[in-house]
Chains A and B, each alone.
Chain A
């Protein structure tokens, strides 16, 4: 039997790829700076690193993911206004009591160029606090 987990995109299994795109504005970068505790109205050149990977956390939220470990490599800074596309490819699902262990590969692309690549593993909540 194939292990699946619920997601905002329906049931997903190993091999499935979740994908989302976003473009951050100057105002959103400023709001993020405020949220970080470093309010700064100067014109940002680059997206804060954490906003570059933010669409991946959106995909994580779609599967109620709690991260245990994540490792990323970043090839270049991403300019404010560039569209970024996150891809999360599930590589392992292992059901257990209350949680399902999960591992995935992840990428952030600007067009065809991969600017962030990495892996993560953790758990998906399947009991209290879960989506369903």
Chain B
């Protein structure tokens, strides 16, 4: 049950392999991802977001997001993604996503989503 106040978080270290796999899956071969900036590869924003717990759930239909990318994430960086459910009204939730590296926030955003039944796609 995803209720108001629920908080989920995940931690990962972004690797060169992750950036290459993300490029393959998305088609985002931007030079700063592949060649790097000052010798360091920059993670795709989508890769930075990919560990976000709610977004990975087949039973959660995201209906909107508003994201601010505050700083680049580089290969080798350990990032922590935290999601807080701010409100829930029936099947509709609002949430806040914050991604941090060792020293600062790198991404902050808000979103809305609809929680679907896990088994048949109907609203729970």
Q: Are A54 and B27 in contact (CB under 8 A)?
A: yes
Q: Are B30 and A64 in contact (CB under 8 A)?
A: yes
| Cα of A77 to Cα of B64 in the assembled complex, Å | 12
Interface string of B18-40 (1 = CB under 8 A from A): 10011101111111110111100
Complex contacts, A40 vs chain B, CB 8 Å: 58
Complex contacts, B116 vs chain A, CB 8 Å: 77
Q: Which of B35-65 contact A (CB under 8 A)?
A: 35-38, 42, 44-47, 49-51, 55-56, 58, 61-65
| Interface bracket on B | 35 or more
Q: Are A128 and B45 in contact (CB under 8 A)?
A: no
Q: Are A129 and B37 in contact (CB under 8 A)?
A: yes
Complex contacts, A67 vs chain B, CB 8 Å: 45, 67, 69
Complex contacts, B18 vs chain A, CB 8 Å: 35
B→A interface (CB under 8 Å): 10, 12, 18, 21-23, 25-33, 35-38, 42, 44-47, 49-51, 55-56, 58, 61-69, 72, 116, 121
Report the count of interface residues on A (CB-CB < 8 A). Answer: 48
Complex contacts, B22 vs chain A, CB 8 Å: 35
Known pairs A74-B64, A75-B63; list 14 more (Cβ under 8 Å): A22-B27, A28-B25, A33-B56, A46-B58, A46-B61, A48-B55, A49-B55, A57-B46, A60-B28, A61-B29, A62-B30, A68-B68, A125-B31, A129-B32
Complex contacts, B33 vs chain A, CB 8 Å: 61
Closest 3 CB pairs of A and B: A58-B27, A61-B30, A61-B28
| Cα of A28 to Cα of B22 in the assembled complex, Å | 11
